[in-house]
A and B are shown apart, each in its own frame.
Chain A
Amino acid sequence: AQSVTQLDSQVPVFEEAPVELRCNYSSSVSVYLFWYVQYPNQGLQLLLKYLSGSTLVKGINGFEAEFNKSQTSFHLRKPSVHISDTAEYFCAVRDTGRRALTFGSGTRLQVQP
């Protein structure tokens, strides 16, 4: 069984500041890792994913994440946020033998002017 921990339920940040949203996971098997974003009253949209290869993955809207196997982390970063980045962000894992995603509890990013 896997689990995902997003330590911060809310992250307030000023516009143009950098941000890091933390994600840690536990699993006894190899996993794929994902970050999804959910804008208000909308469905989930994939930001980026790690399947294999380079541990630094780049996604849409200027986001990137780094897979750290030794620390079982997959933190999401953006060097300069915009008001439009205000949304809820979900980290998710899927073991390579299953299809179902296991999600973290989400982090609400609030970008202030």
Chain B
Amino acid sequence: GAGVSQSPSNKVTEKGKDVELRCDPISGHTALYWYRQSLGQGLEFLIYFQGNSAPDKSGLPSDRFSAERTGGSVSTLTIQRTQQEDSAVYLCASSLALAGEGEQYFGPGTRLTVT
């Protein structure tokens, strides 16, 4: 079956512009996560959605970052007024919402370069 997909695979943008990154989770997975992988910070959690519950936004680095999940499926991560330190690979993952477990399946990532 299809895995987690992300688009675009690569994005180059100018400092100060807004970007939107998209994630399509595995069908039937109710939990969705965004992580960021950068040279300086490693792999860091950004935000987590679970069904209709309020998202866990505790990992978002600043108020320039936001995410939404429409209809419990597709998610969009938006970065406003991009900065060079936002350059990273943004990874999306999804999982079944099994109590305590729920293996996370990762997408291939979107490589964002801010020039």
Contacts and interface: CB of A to CB of B under 8 A. Distances in A.
A100 B56 CA distance: 9
A44 B48 CA distance: 17
A69 interface: no
A49 to B, nearest CB: 7
A104 B108 CA distance: 19
B91 A44 contact: yes
A14 to B, nearest CB: 28
Interface size range on B against A = 20 to 34
Nearest to B46: A100
Interface residues of A, number: 21
Contact of A44 (B58, B95, B102, B106): B106
Interface of A: 32, 36, 42-46, 49, 51, 90, 92, 96, 98-106
Interface of B: 4, 31, 33, 35, 42-45, 48, 50, 56, 58-59, 91, 93, 95, 100-109
Given A49-B103, A100-B45, 11 more contacts: A32-B101, A43-B106, A43-B107, A51-B101, A90-B43, A99-B48, A99-B102, A100-B33, A104-B42, A106-B42, A106-B43
